[in-house]
Chains A and B, each alone.
Chain A
Amino acid sequence: MNPQTTPAAHTPPTAEAVPLIPLPLNTARALTTAGALLSAASTFLSWTWTTRFPGNLTVNGYPGGLQLLTLTGALLTLAYALTSWNIPGLRWLNPTGSHNATALLAIATLATTWYTLIAIAAQLGGLANLEPGGYTAALTTLLTLLGTLALPLDRRPADPAPATGRLSSTRAATAVRSALRTLGPGRTGKQPPLPRPLPPWAEILVIAAAFGLALGIVTYGIGTAYGELFTGFLLLAGFGTAGLARAGLLGRLTALTAKHRTPTVTAAFVAAALFPLTQDTDQYTLIAVNILIFSTVALGLNVVVGLAGLLDLGYVAFLGVGAYTAALVSGTTASTLDIRFPFWAAVLTGAAASLVFGVVIGAPTLRLRGDYLAIVTLGFGEIFRITVGNLNGESGPSLTNGPNGIPNIPDLVLFGYSFGKTHHLGSITLNPFANYYLLMLLFTVIVVLVFSRAGNSRIGRAWIAIREDETAATAMGINGFRLKLLAFALGATLAGLAGTVQAHVAYTVVPEQYVFAGPVPPNSAFLLAAVILGGMGTISGPLLGAALLYLIPAKLQFLQDYQLLAFGAALILLMRFRPEGLIPNRRRQLEFHDGTTTGSTLTHAEATTP
């Protein structure tokens, strides 16, 4: 970007839309459109000469692997570039009419493309490994971004004139900083215009289509075969989602889903249930089952942390209690109890054991508040793991085989339907993990129902009141201790439920699965991170947070050594720029961004559906 052309230095700090690069509007539009078109075209060229880089980017005329991601980004950018020409019929794509959306999409494309090219150069050793097609892609995506930056961009209303910053040593740095601030997270005061009303069936169709699309995207993400593709996918999906949110498209979708609760829930459930049918092998279904287990437990933790505001650092112990109970009564030869419960009884036993464990731990500890509670729960979580590791008949009573755990947990059989076998229902093939996936999905739905119903009731309000101000809550007649214990016990029970399935999916339970922090989720630290990263007090937040936290370590093997470091850095960045989590609870968003929000009321639907 040409530093001489930074326009903002002479611009008064208004909320007006101002381009970062001064070009005539039509030139900027043309540049963006042409750039996006050329970027799309460049994916049909070969980017490298060898197939040693995964995904085969060598073919002319047929985009593959990461090129497909660039193509998707370029086409999206093209669509948004076309909206700037005020073409009738494209208006719905960009309800706010904000060019920032286009810019964010251009960034998404640029990031994915340049990441790919850098990865090629780094892996194969040098820029010489790039073919002209690669250079073309790099150039065209950059041109597109420059074009979008020349479009009028919204600034945040409170944004000061960028050139007055103290830190601006050079004008180029100022330009970059102002670009970051303009495009960064933060919301303009601009409210999108009200959508043209659609007939209800069309709205429901839109919801169904959105969930279909979401299923496609998630399936693609889970199914990415190599780390580079997953990173590219994350970059595109992250920036792309930010762009669509800025365009107001996601806001409209959220409004639709709030209007049609039942169709939305059904669509989400159906989309999730369709996932195993998109898979031929067990490989990714297993990942999906584990994501479901992780997110279900995270949602259970959300009752304790998000609703009642109790910081529980030993939550994974309840998952462990459920899993160990199910393993002990599963009839495995390694179990010290020579009994075999039917699955429903095992589930009830596991949940009940977790409930008892939760009450036993909660009763003494919940008299503490804040940090003290966190530390005590952390201790109890570790006590569970260490105790289980010692109940081996030598250092304690013989119950759990100590550190060796309980292996060979048999597959579930429910009404003669064996979960360990591949089933063919007509043209549908359900492999073992697909069976478990569907079972676990049922449990997830139960937990979602419990969360939303409990949260939106007299009990849920009392929990939130305790979270807000415990003294005032007790003065309003709320028995603080009892309700906190209830939240704790409910959370424990939900984790126990998930644990009973986990035991069968993993075939074996060992104490080391239930640590405070470790590289493999679920563990207490990751569970808490999933809740906070996704958005406390929401339903979709922990589900999304858990999915990300499971997929990222699973896909990015090269991160192994730096995983916790990267994780910490990501958390810090997220808490700095989006303290309310990826999917903000409307309540919390108001709390953190007070003053920059224009609509400060909650609609009734928003208030009652956490």
Chain B
Amino acid sequence: MTTPATAPAKAPAATPVLTATGVTMRFGGLTAVRDVDLTVHHNEIVGLIGPNGAGKTTFFNCLTGLYVPTEGTVAFKGAKLPPKPHLVTKAGIARTFQNIRLFANMTVLENVLVGRHTRTKEGLFSALLRGPAFRRAEKASEERAMELLTFTGLAGKRDHLARNLPYGEQRKLEIARALASDPGLLLLDEPTAGMNPQETRATETLVHAIRAQGTAVLVIEHDMRFIFALCDRVAVLVQGEKLTEGTSEAVQADERVIAAYLGTPFEGAPGEEEAAEVAAAEARTEEGEENQ
């Protein structure tokens, strides 16, 4: 890739790109996300982890306008984001989906071209008249899309249907499509789900390369090794609330995080003796059943 994605590449490193303040999302009586604050700075990779059902994806949907948060605000580079997905993308936040949502029956190139939608302007009339401006814009879009395909290593598959790509490449294509909107912040929802270790490592390299181009990344993931190796900062979401936030080391050492994932050892946890007793009792029951 030759050109940096967007202008903010020159901004100082501490500028907040994304500021979510007091985001709360209620579905009827259920509070899926409660009063979560999160800040992503320029050129930063932030991880968002939490057990299943912690509200990570709901929080993502609040950021991208798919949901309108019940309370709280989300701001991108200081400007409050409108609660409409397409306007959020236009403002500069692009996302991928947990369950891949490509345009299955469009080619790889067309998928990325769709991602260019907000950064191009040609309307219906210019499409009908096919003037030189239209041709130029189409050519520029295609060049930029090809750049992104080369960047993600999919250039050789430009004319394949998206549905025919192997799983790992579909994930990559989703990232390429998101990058096509020249985002200042990229949201990745479980980008390595279902990947083998090699593919996970490749994704790690890809995310670093994206950051190197001046795009901040916020990533949800269950793969702890991936998250802790990748992220500058990790936030932990448990039952809709932010438990803690800090560097990988700090979060890894936090007992509350371990407790949230593995459960707390309670008083008088079973020792070896009790375990042996239980096993013996079970064996007796089984014998009794067999004798009957």
Residue ranges of A at the interface with B (Cβ–Cβ < 8 Å) = 449-450, 453-454, 456-462, 464-465, 468-469, 471-480, 486, 490, 587-588, 590-591, 594, 600-604, 607
Question: A457-B138, A459-B127, A465-B103 known; A475 and B117 CB under 8 Å?
Answer: no
> Which of A449, A450, A476, A590 contacts B105, CB < 8 Å?
A590
A/B interface sample: 23 pairs, CB < 8 A? A453-B128, A457-B138, A458-B122, A458-B138, A462-B114, A464-B103, A465-B103, A465-B114, A469-B101, A469-B102, A474-B84, A475-B101, A476-B89, A476-B94, A477-B86, A477-B89, A477-B115, A477-B117, A478-B117, A590-B164, A591-B104, A607-B107, A607-B159
Listed from nearest, the 3 A-B pairs whose CB atoms lie closest are A477-B118, A457-B127, A477-B89
A-B contact count (CB 8 A): 125
CB closest chain-A residue, reference B91:
A477
Query: What CA separation (Å) do A320 and B120 show in the bound complex?
Result: 36
Query: What CA separation (Å) do A475 and B98 show in the bound complex?
Result: 13
B141: which A residues are within 8 A, CB to CB?
A: 458
B159 to A457, Cβ gap below 8 A? Answer: no
Query: What CA separation (Å) do A591 and B162 show in the bound complex?
Result: 11
Question: A454-B124, A475-B66, A600-B161 known; A588 and B86 CB under 8 Å?
Answer: no
A475 to B105, Cβ gap below 8 A? Answer: no
**Which residue of A461, A465, A476, A590 has the most chain B CB atoms within 10 A of its CB atom?**
A476
CB closest chain-B residue, reference A585:
B105
A460: which B residues are within 8 A, CB to CB?
A: 127
Query: What CA separation (Å) do A184 and B38 show in the bound complex?
Result: 61
A459: which B residues are within 8 A, CB to CB?
A: 122-124, 127
Query: A603 CB to closest chain B CB, in angstroms?
Result: 7
Which of chain B's residues 85-139 have a Cβ closer than 8 Å to chain A?
85-86, 89-90, 94-95, 97, 101-107, 109-110, 113-118, 120, 122-124, 127-128, 130, 134, 137-138
A468 to B97, Cβ gap below 8 A? Answer: no
B127: which A residues are within 8 A, CB to CB?
A: 453-454, 456-460
B90 to A601, Cβ gap below 8 A? Answer: no
A490: which B residues are within 8 A, CB to CB?
A: 124
A587 to B105, Cβ gap below 8 A? Answer: yes
> Which of A456, A475, A486, A600 contacts B89, CB < 8 Å?
A475
Give the interface residue-count category, chain B.
Answer: 35 or more
**Which residue of A460, A464, A601 has the most chain B CB atoms within 10 A of its CB atom?**
A601
B128 to A450, Cβ gap below 8 A? Answer: yes
B192 at the interface (CB under 8 A from A): no
A604 to B159, Cβ gap below 8 A? Answer: yes
Query: What CA separation (Å) do A472 and B159 show in the bound complex?
Result: 20
Residue ranges of B at the interface with A (Cβ–Cβ < 8 Å) = 64, 66, 84-86, 89-90, 94-95, 97, 101-107, 109-110, 113-118, 120, 122-124, 127-128, 130, 134, 137-138, 141, 159-161, 163-164, 177-178, 181
B159: which A residues are within 8 A, CB to CB?
A: 601-604, 607
Query: B137 CB to closest chain A CB, in angstroms?
Result: 8
Query: A485 CB to closest chain B CB, in angstroms?
Result: 11
B117 to A476, Cβ gap below 8 A? Answer: yes
Question: A458-B120, A458-B141 known; A468 and B128 CB under 8 Å?
Answer: no
Beyond the given pairs A469-B101, A479-B86, 18 more chain A to chain B contacts, judged by CB atoms under 8 angstroms and listed by A's residue number, are: A453-B127, A453-B130, A457-B134, A458-B120, A459-B124, A460-B127, A464-B103, A468-B105, A472-B103, A476-B89, A476-B117, A476-B178, A477-B89, A477-B117, A590-B163, A591-B163, A594-B164, A602-B107
> Which of B102, B105, B120, B134 contacts A591, CB < 8 Å?
B105
Query: What CA separation (Å) do A465 and B161 show in the bound complex?
Result: 13
Query: B117 CB to closest chain A CB, in angstroms?
Result: 5
> Which of A476, A602, A604 contacts B114, CB < 8 Å?
A476
CB closest chain-A residue, reference B123:
A459
CB closest chain-A residue, reference B181:
A477
B104 to A474, Cβ gap below 8 A? Answer: no
A461 to B164, Cβ gap below 8 A? Answer: no
A603: which B residues are within 8 A, CB to CB?
A: 159
Query: What CA separation (Å) do A587 and B106 show in the bound complex?
Result: 7
Question: A453-B130, A476-B89, A600-B160 known; A458 and B117 CB under 8 Å?
Answer: yes
Query: A208 CB to closest chain B CB, in angstroms?
Result: 25
CB closest chain-A residue, reference B178:
A476
B106 to A465, Cβ gap below 8 A? Answer: yes
CB closest chain-B residue, reference A591:
B105
Query: A195 CB to closest chain B CB, in angstroms?
Result: 21
B124 to A476, Cβ gap below 8 A? Answer: no
Query: A303 CB to closest chain B CB, in angstroms?
Result: 11
